[in-house]
Structure 1
Amino acid sequence: MFYRILFLLTIPFLSFADPTPFGLEINKTTLPEARKLYSLALASKDKGSKTKTYQIDTRKINFKGLLSLQATFNEKEILVAVHGTMEKTNFDRMLTTLDNKYVLVTKDVPSVGNKEAKLKDHNTIIFIEAPQDKMQMYFLYMNEQIWNKALATIAKNEKNQA
């Protein structure tokens, strides 16, 4: 009986976890924790958003077709995004896997042309894209607030250019 109660008490905590691509939990993993898992090299700093992006050495990651991987941390050194590239042949497999785990928001997968999908889980947006004219696909796991700010900035810039 005790174990049943304990199990039932842990279910709410399990259901509120954000995605954990490559062992890095969005909105939770800290920069020191990520350094324990991977070799990181500073790739860029964004003064406006106060974020730092690190390149992750993919040679030690056992994931077929992974070409590049980056992690972005906020000013508090909390992971807010994981993004990278992989072989385009992984798109359908990745979409199926993600669709079984997360809520599908949009999907545009024509037989010919650019393929993309957007999914959501808790406070994380997941976006995958396979442009027709490229040999690789792109993926992004991002904190939803930062995603929305980025979209607002893009819309504002487009409006100013019009």
Structure 2
Amino acid sequence: MKKLVLLIVFFYSSLLYANPSPFGLEINKTTLKEAKEKYTLNFDDTNFYSNGPMYYIKNNELDIDGLESVLLIFSKDEKLLAISTTFGKYKFKSLKENLSQKYQLVEKKLEFVGDQYVK
């Protein structure tokens, strides 16, 4: 697999004092309209779980090394629920190390050969 998909999902983070704001988009607060004002979005599909729209941010708008795509997942009422990012395979180790220092790992699969992931 040439891509590593890191899925960042923050549903109803009521235990946190502030909602996370990756790419300047606050989870559970940013509306589709606000996201469209900040970035050029391309419609992808309707999300199976939230029944809301999903949009990709245009690739050239974020200058992050190894970033291949950013998918925004909205609720039916067009509030941002989740952001899914796809990075190149070569970024896995550095991303895992950086995120492991900040967040607790829930699950990991670190095979020598084949797909690797962490949650």
Instruction: Please give the range of the TM-score, normalised by the shorter of the 2 chains.
Output: 0.7 to 0.9
CA gap 1:54/1:112 in 2 versus in 1, 3 angstroms: same
Deviation of 1:113 (Å): 2.6
Question: Deviating runs (4+, > 4 A) in structure 1?
Answer: none
Cα contact 2:50–2:74 (8 A) shared by 1: no
2:24 matched to which residue of 1?
23
Distance 1:29 1:82 in 2: 12
TM-score scaled to structure 2, two decimals? 0.75
Which structure would you say has the larger RCO, counting Cα contacts within 8 Å and 6 or more residues apart? 2
Q: Distance in 2 between matches of 1:106 and 1:46?
A: 24
Residue of structure 1 in register with 2:43 after alignment: 42
Unaligned runs of 5+ in 2: 1-15
SS in 2 for 1:105: coil
* 1:53-77 Cα distance to aligned partner (Å, 9 max, x none): 0121020211011111110110121
Alignment correspondent of 1:95: 96
Identical amino acids, percent of aligned pairs: 38
Aligned residues: 104
CA RMSD for the aligned pairs?
1.9
More helix by share: 1
For 1:47 and 1:93, the matched residues in 2 are separated by 31
* Maintained 8 Å contact 2:45/2:54: yes
Q: Paired residue for 1:114?
A: 115
**Taking structure 1 as the reference length, what is the TM-score of the superposition?**
0.57
- Counterpart amino acid of 1:74? S
